[in-house]
Amino acid sequence: EDQVTQSPEALRLQEGESSSLNCSYTVSGLRGLFWYRQDPGKGPEFLFTLYSAGEEKEKERLKATLTKKESFLHITAPKPEDSATYLCAVRSAYSGAGSYQLTFGKGTKLSVIP
């Protein structure tokens, strides 16, 4: 069974204070690790997909990295508008019907204080 664990559950940062969110995973044959941002009362917004260890992707103040056991979402000089819950999800080689299913972690709630 695929498992995704995100830490910390909640993180408060001062504006400009860089930090990282962690996503540890256990899957049978990783076929993609996904990062999403979710604002309260909204659906998740796609950020990144990583497929292999050593891969990195960047978007504005966010940078996602991947190893064989975990992924990090680095936030550089965050702004209040970066406040949201960040979700990590994995797709394994043995995902259910259609093999496109994602298993989600519980998320990290990020609050950036001005």
Partner 1 sequence: GAVVSQHPSRVICKSGTSVKIECRSLDFQATTMFWYRQFPKQSLMLMATSNEGSKATYEQGVEKDKFLINHASLTLSTLTVTSAHPEDSSFYICSARDLAIAYEQYFGPGTRLTVT
Binding site for partner 1 (CB under 8 A): 31-32, 34, 36, 41-46, 49, 87, 91, 96-98, 100-102, 104-107
Nearest to partner 1 of 17, 42 (CB atom) = 42
Nearest to partner 1 of 96, 114 (CB atom) = 96
Q: How far is the CB of 91 from partner 1 (least distance, A)?
A: 6
Two tokens at 81? Answer: 């508008």
Give the angle 69-23-34 at the CA atoms, nearest 5°.
95
Q: How far is the CB of 100 from partner 1 (least distance, A)?
A: 5
Two tokens at 113? Answer: 């204080």
CA-closest candidate to residue 67, choices 103, 19, 20:
20
Q: How far is the CB of 77 from partner 1 (least distance, A)?
A: 27
CA-closest candidate to residue 85, choices 49, 44, 25:
44
